[in-house]
Amino acid sequence: MTSTESAFWVVTPGTGEIRPATVPAPRPDEVRVRTIRSGVSRGTETLVFRGLVPASQHTAMRAPHQEGDFPGPVKYGYLNVGVVEEGPAELRGRTVFCLYPHQSAYVVPASAVVPVPDDVPPSRAVLAGTVETAVNALWDAPPLVGDKVTVVGGGMVGCGVARLLARFPGVAVELVDVDPARAATAAALGVGFAHPDDAATGRDLVFHASASEAGLRRSLELLRPEGTVVELSWYGDREVTVPLGAGFHSGRLRIRASQVGMVAPARRSSRSYSDRLAIALDLLRDPAFDALVSAEHPFERLPEVLPELASGSLAGLCHVITYGE
């Protein structure tokens, strides 16, 4: 039967509200999911909340189940964990992950959900989209045994990349951030930590995820000759100046873009989007990822939480939204 649920919408830049959402009965090839957790993707969602998605990127930035258009009103988000209430027998009662916005319940094609392993708690499972981004980055530029690798930017994506790198044999990993509080996070992830001024140089690979011009400049400075910076930041409508003088050409340095919208070329012929997401959920069996979950807030507070995240007054990494608890 059709039901009335609740969904979060960005109404205008800087303002959000919870609105009623009509959810139809599922068809035979669909599932009805009751949300138990969703996660705020701090970097992307705060850009959307502030209305900073460039007009040229409105199509590219659409989330899989987005409603409305940028800058608003728009229903946006993609880190959702819920329980299947109706659908195929093999999925009924299963906890699943879906790239769906913040909404109390919804109906999607059965192919749009991926089961969460039984030993991955829901609040950790919301990180699947973040870890999926990290998996794609490492498909774009995998380290070699013995490599020295730095991650600049200790946000959700940077920390996700750092944890996966920590599991590579013989790879020395350093997380770099201006916030000294990230030292404790780095320790929990099993990697080293440094302030940008003290970061190790001569690195084979640098993954940049700070979304700042200063971070990108410092990333290039950390490379050895013929080293590579993998750019994971999304800058919205901001212009960034990249120093291509000095030692950039003589050192034959490289800057490579990586983003999750397409499967990395190295695996595009052998892995689907669902395969990549399933890999991310399997990797989340690792309890070290709990270090990325900073706080939980009830769904009803989301119109207050997002402005605080966008302004920087609410610190931390992943803020998890709870439903009906």
What is the tens place of the pLDDT at every residue in 242-273?
888 888 999 999 999 998 889 999 999 999 99
Strands 30-40 and 67-68: unpaired
Average pLDDT for 116-128: 97
Q: Is the pLDDT of residue 307 over 80?
A: yes
Q: Is the pLDDT of residue 167 over 70?
A: yes
Average pLDDT for 298-314: 95
What's the CA gap between 236 and 54, in Å, rounded?
6
Fold observed for domain 130-257 = Rossmann fold (3.40.50)
Question: What is the predicted pLDDT for the residue at 302?
Answer: 97
Q: Is the pLDDT of residue 277 over 90?
A: yes
Q: Kindly indicate the confidence band of residue 306, based on its pLDDT and cuts at 50, 70 and 90.
A: very high
Question: What is the predicted pLDDT for the residue at 325?
Answer: 61
The domains spanning 3-127+284-322 and 130-257 adopt the same CATH topology: no
- Give the strand order in the sheet containing 74-75: 15-23, 3-12, 74-75, 67-68
Closest CA to 254 of 209, 194, 195, 207: 207
**Token pair recorded at residue 300:** 């009803």
Question: What is the predicted pLDDT for the residue at 238?
Answer: 81
∠188-95-186 over CA atoms, to 5°? 10
Average pLDDT for 17-32: 97
Strands 148-152 and 318-322: unpaired
Query: Residues 54-113: pLDDT tens digits?
Result: 998 899 889 999 999 999 999 999 999 999 999 999 999 999 999 999 999 999 999 999
Fold observed for domain 3-127+284-322 = Quinone Oxidoreductase; Chain A, domain 1 (3.90.180)
Mean pLDDT of the chain: 95
Strands (E), the chain: 3-12, 15-23, 30-40, 67-68, 74-75, 80-86, 95-98, 105-109, 113-115, 148-152, 172-176, 192-194, 203-208, 223-231, 254-257, 293-298, 318-322
Rounded percentage of the chain residues whose pLDDT exceeds 70: 100
Each domain of the chain, given as residue ranges in start order, spans 3-127+284-322, 130-257
Query: Residues 148-160: pLDDT tens digits?
Result: 999 999 999 999 9
Q: Is the pLDDT of residue 236 over 80?
A: no
Find where tokens 């993998």 sit.
230
